[in-house]
Amino acid sequence: MGDTLSEIETLIEWEAFRPIIQDICPRSPLEGEGPDTDEMVLLKMLVLQSFYGLSDHDIEFQATDRISFGKFLGFPEKIPDHASLADFRERLKKSGKERAVWDHLQDQLDLKGIKIQKGVIQDATINTPDPGLFRPGTPGEKKGKSRKSRSSR
């Protein structure tokens, strides 16, 4: 059915990234915080964010809203929030491992002959016509008189 994310998820060896990023992710929660987040979920969220051009807030929402994103992430018990994702990205940059992660992903894609064409998730906009433009009972009529044109008679 064209589930590209499922295909990519199975073609990439995600565990190969763990040695690159595991030392920048705290393995135990700080006092008062919830359980730590699997670094692979954070990494996959960054990948989705890159593929679809999403902001931190948007990827947080889409990861909870879209079944395909949840499946790609492995249906984690809890989706990391936008602040956790921003923190992870910043730790990647500060550690100098950001380039290594993206290069490794590109290498895996190249080895499999996969070319990623980035997409955009668009919000649906529902436009409703002015009810005065169309007369009920006139199917197929393309132009009706508006309220304004009727009142100017």
Q: What is the DSSP string of 83-120?
A: HHHHHHHHHHHHHT-HHHHHHHHHHHHHHTT-------
Beta carbons of 48 and 54 less than 8 angstroms apart: yes
User: What is the spatial distance between Cα 39 and Cα 85, in angstroms, rounded to a whole number?
Assistant: 10
Which residues, other chains included, contact 127 with Cβ-Cβ below 8 Å and sequence gap of 6+? none
pLDDT in tens, 78-93: 999 999 999 999 999 9
Beta carbons of 132 and 146 less than 8 angstroms apart: yes
Compute the average pLDDT of residues 32-53: 82
Residue 109 token pair: 């894609």
- Is residue 132 very low, low, confident or very high in pLDDT (cuts 50, 70, 90)? low
Instruction: State the pTM of this model.
Output: 0.70
- Is residue 7 very low, low, confident or very high in pLDDT (cuts 50, 70, 90)? confident
pLDDT in tens, 94-127: 999 999 999 999 999 888 887 776 655 544 444 4
Burial of 77 (0-12, 13-18, 19+ CB in 10 A): exposed
